Structure 1
Amino acid sequence: MTLDYSILRLAAWALLSLFAIGVSLTFAVELGAASLLPTLKANESQRRALTAQWAAVTAGNLAWLAALIALVFFGWPSVYAAVFSSFQTLLPLVLIPLALRPFALYVRAGLPANWLEKWDRGLSLGALLPTFLLGVMIGNLIKGIPFHLQSDMRIALLGNLGGLFNPFSMLVGAVAAAAATSLGALQLQLHGDSEISERAKALALPLGLAFLSLFALTGLWITHLEGYHVTTDIAPLGPSNPLSKFVRRGDGLWLDNYEHEPSLIAIPSLVFIAGIAMLICSRRDKAYWASLAASVAMAMLVLTAGVSLFPFLAPSNMSLNSSLTLWDASASETGLRALLMFGGILFPLMAIASRWR
């Protein structure tokens, strides 16, 4: 069966969502747990065991991130250009700590004793900072990023680093950090020794409550936050031309998809249901089920962002009609077919490899 251009675009968006979930889960397990290292009060033997576990998976986690970036680059080149250009001052603060983690975890075993505590604090900060900043970037995508498409499709940047740290984006950053540390604590409860497991269990409750509270606060804020809506007819089969549409902005427009398709409300609802389940299971020492519920909550958190933004991938808050959607900023039909073929093979292989680890 031959898929038309609209189905290819939609399938590519679904594949992007799957890879985004994969990145969030793999990084949350490692970075969330590593962020808690100073608070665990672990002895050196326990710390060595934990860092050895993280060292075994950190390179694979970077592979997930590289695959996600490659998917955006090949599937929506203009989105890649707009997003990476808009966040060019922020991205080094995310990518450099992540790229250095395999080296930092590897050399820890050979460090003198008087270096270890400071090194572990650096590992913790190097885990928490990228997690928070990735959330800040997502928050800015929801608010809209400051770029303008010229008539020749060149991108003009209109923002600065300070503008990226606005109250809403920092709230989303806090949601990301709380979600990751909650999942990290539950993984430590599941895989740590008896002492680490008990300490992680004690941390899981406040972290989980913070995550659910911050997520609820974000939802309330979005009801009054300016969202975006395409006012002209969408051409799913048409050529990619972001400037061929008109976009309006108004309070609460990010809720449009839930009004048009009420069943979508199940996605953010599952964040709360799975979040409450993870807390109950953790308190009852059912760490496996708690970790599984936390993973579901994390996946639904990512889908909530994607479904709320749909069909936008990179809305512009400076030039509304320059906003990029999955319908008007995609690669060619041939390019999307190749991307789906390659990505459709790569995703299950990476998922199996991550589960096997």
Structure 2
Amino acid sequence: MELTTLWFIIIAFLWVGYFALEGFDFGVGTLLPFLARNDTERRVMINTIGPVWDGNEVWVLVAGGATFAAFPEWYATLFSGFYLPLLLILVALILRGLAFEYRHKRPEAKWQANWDRAIIFGSVIPAFLWGVAFANIVRGVPIDADFEFTGTVFTLLNPYGLLGGMVTLSLFLTHGAMFIALKTVGDIRHRARALAIKLGLVAAVLAVVFMVWTQADTGNARSAIAFVLAAVVLLAGLFAAAKGREGWAFTGTFGTIALAVSGLFLALFPDVMPSSTDVANSLTTTNAAATAYTLKVMSWVAIAFTPIVLMYQAWSYWVFRKRIGTHHIPATH
């Protein structure tokens, strides 16, 4: 296997991990005003992701760094052309991180409500804009012969891109509701499970339309298999939720997101950023890649450190595996 192909697979794996893990964080944050009926329940929801959200964000940092090092032309075109959406995502993630750290610092209701709004904003914006960004990457954007983006931010707000944003938002909401049902006890658990089924049905419709559109435009046999499996796994997860099997239900939404994102990368390969202006201007795993020596060094570093990161994250999930409820939340002083 060529190193350029290997690093395309590694970057795809990093994005799959990011969306499947950070996706439920975004879902929990977005559902904060809809599932929680009082401050104690809001604290329960925040505590379900409290020990893991920052570890989940590491995946996007590594994905961005790997793209910069392995495919510098892809990184340059992507971050210059998608500057405003990526900036909004960055601001949203910063505000969300601050909210998790500062919400409990003061007992005033107004103080906590303002930070709750920051959590919601910091969850909705990335959940939607990541879908818009990846939909445009797969579909193709205007790129000239110098591999420079020639469109505007409004170029990205096309029907296909907006549908992609709605798909990621709805899938992350379903994923987050499944996670809350899996991690809590009491009334909030039952409300989350019921809401997850309703959200999942909406997500299923949007996702099927998006995947059929993608398959018709840029898909291939491999992406078709991934998309079909994603749809089947989502329905299986919703069926498990209806039967009260929250563990299998969460596994279903996790698998759906992983398979759907994998399908996008399978539809994209061997391009990394197609040009809608002229196919000759498309960025591929060949013309966007770094030198062979750079990829070789990066491969050895990845072999050494990836298992350590995966083991640490698995350990953190194991330590914080138990359910929590309102009776675990101490009174505010």
Task: Give the structure-2-normalised TM-score.
Answer: 0.89
Alignment of 1:165-244 (within 5 A): 165-224=157-216
> Would you say 1:38 and 2:30 are equivalent positions?
no
Q: By percentage of residues, which structure has more strand? A: 1
Partners of 2:120 and 2:244 in 1: how far apart? 26
8 Å CA contact 2:177–2:196 kept in 1: the answer is yes
Partners of 1:205 and 1:31 in 2: how far apart? 17
8 Å CA contact 1:185–1:203 kept in 2: the answer is yes
Task: Find the residue that maps to 2:144 and give its secondary structure.
Answer: strand
Match of 1:52 among 30, 42, 47: 47
Partners of 2:180 and 2:48 in 1: how far apart? 11
Query: What residue in structure 1 maps to residue 127 of structure 2?
Result: 131
Match of 1:340 among 271, 280, 299: 299
8 Å CA contact 1:146–1:318 kept in 2: the answer is yes
Shift of 1:300: 0.2
Shift of 1:165: 0.8
Query: What residue in structure 1 maps to residue 16 of structure 2?
Result: 21
Query: What residue in structure 2 maps to residue 73 of structure 1?
Result: 68
Query: What residue in structure 2 maps to residue 241 of structure 1?
Result: none
Distance 1:220 1:269, change over 3 A: closer
Task: Find the residue that maps to 2:83 and give its secondary structure.
Answer: coil
Match of 1:327 among 286, 302, 314: 286
Partners of 1:264 and 1:165 in 2: how far apart? 24
Partners of 1:19 and 1:47 in 2: how far apart? 30
Task: Find the residue that maps to 1:313 and give its secondary structure.
Answer: strand
Partners of 1:65 and 1:332 in 2: how far apart? 23
Which range moves more in the overlay, 47-56 or 127-136?
47-56
8 Å CA contact 1:19–1:347 kept in 2: the answer is no
Partners of 1:55 and 1:205 in 2: how far apart? 24
8 Å CA contact 2:103–2:112 kept in 1: the answer is yes
Distance 1:53 1:41, change over 3 A: closer
Report how many residues are paired.
315
Q: CA RMSD in A?
A: 1.7
Alignment of 1:96-111 (within 5 A): 96-111=91-106
Shift of 1:99: 2.3
Partners of 1:222 and 1:264 in 2: how far apart? 9
Query: What residue in structure 1 maps to residue 156 of structure 2?
Result: 164
Letter of the structure 2 residue corresponding to residue 145 of structure 1? V
Query: What residue in structure 2 maps to residue 10 of structure 1?
Result: 5
Query: What residue in structure 2 maps to residue 89 of structure 1?
Result: 84
Task: Find the residue that maps to 1:115 and give its secondary structure.
Answer: helix
Letter of the structure 2 residue corresponding to residue 352 of structure 1? M
Shift of 1:320: 2.6
8 Å CA contact 1:267–1:304 kept in 2: the answer is yes
8 Å CA contact 2:237–2:250 kept in 1: the answer is yes
Shift of 1:138: 0.7
Query: What residue in structure 2 maps to residue 145 of structure 1?
Result: 141
Shift of 1:268: 1.1
Partners of 2:41 and 2:231 in 1: how far apart? 33
8 Å CA contact 2:36–2:42 kept in 1: the answer is no
Partners of 1:274 and 1:284 in 2: how far apart? 15
Partners of 2:237 and 2:313 in 1: how far apart? 22
Match of 1:316 among 260, 264, 275: 275
8 Å CA contact 1:87–1:137 kept in 2: the answer is yes
Letter of the structure 2 residue corresponding to residue 89 of structure 1? L
Partners of 2:306 and 2:166 in 1: how far apart? 28
Partners of 1:264 and 1:49 in 2: how far apart? 38
Distance 1:298 1:222, change over 3 A: closer
Partners of 2:85 and 2:233 in 1: how far apart? 32
Match of 1:351 among 304, 310, 332: 310
Q: Which runs of 5+ in 1 are unaligned?
A: 1-5, 225-251
Task: Find the residue that maps to 1:78 and give its secondary structure.
Answer: helix
Q: By percentage of residues, which structure has more helix? A: 2
8 Å CA contact 2:48–2:180 kept in 1: the answer is no
Which range moves more in the overlay, 34-43 or 171-180?
34-43
How big is each residue's C-alpha offset from its partner over 1:298-351, in whole Å with a ceiling of 9 and x where there is no partner?
110110100011111111122431111112221111111112222233333333
